[in-house]
A and B are shown apart, each in its own frame.
Chain A
């Protein structure tokens, strides 16, 4: 079974509007971390936001916020006031404490295109 599911193949949003990118995850651990990364066409992975499984409040980082619904195992990224520079691939990832070493598991990503 997939650990991280991102089913939206491509998203379009008008500049200055808000957009939500969906992410669901699967884990039996009680402690885990959820991450969102942005990958522009240049290829580098840019860290956006992090949510810990025990955090009671949704994470926010500037125009990015994470809508964390633990019971539904979803961690959707909300981008407010979209800008043209937000056009990129967005990846949701999870990190579980598997013994002494933990690894980051990525979803397949969502393409976001911001229209002027």
Chain B
């Protein structure tokens, strides 16, 4: 079955630690995205990538980093510089970066900083 997987589902981190969230897709999509969702809020774009080895900052990129070494994978690192990292993180992909392309979402990772 084609789809997007994110792991882990729940993640706990101590303050000051970096943590990496995994996102893998087998849909052969070119574009991938990372969003952050806070309680009672919509999604905000952190980073996106249109092709391998290229990515751009979204609206709230500070304190986050990404890589896109393979088409299928777009891991997100939450660094210690992110002031308030506790949130729900969603990864998405679309067949292209065009504005008509529907985005498909993974199941999400809930990150809690202790």
Contacts and interface: CB of A to CB of B under 8 A. Distances in A.
B30 to A, nearest CB: 12
B48 interface: yes
Interface in A12-70: 31-33, 35, 37, 42-47, 50, 52
B90 interface: yes
B8 interface: no
A103 B50 CA distance: 11
Contacts of B40: 108-109
Contact of B102 (A32, A47, A100, A101): A47
A104 B103 contact: yes
Contacts, number: 67
B48 to A, nearest CB: 7
A44 B43 contact: no
A37 B35 CA distance: 14
Interface stretch (B12-20, B66-74, B75-83, B106-114): B106-114
A26 to B, nearest CB: 15
Top 10 closest pairs, chain A to chain B, by CB? A106-B42, A45-B105, A102-B99, A97-B99, A95-B99, A43-B108, A106-B43, A108-B42, A44-B107, A101-B97
28 contacts: A4-B42, A32-B99, A35-B103, A43-B88, A43-B107, A43-B108, A44-B106, A44-B107, A44-B108, A45-B92, A46-B105, A47-B102, A47-B103, A47-B105, A50-B100, A50-B102, A91-B43, A95-B99, A95-B100, A100-B97, A103-B33, A103-B48, A103-B58, A104-B45, A104-B103, A107-B42, A109-B40, A109-B41
Given A101-B56, A106-B44, A108-B42, 12 more contacts: A31-B99, A32-B99, A44-B107, A45-B90, A46-B105, A50-B100, A52-B100, A95-B99, A101-B97, A104-B45, A104-B103, A109-B40
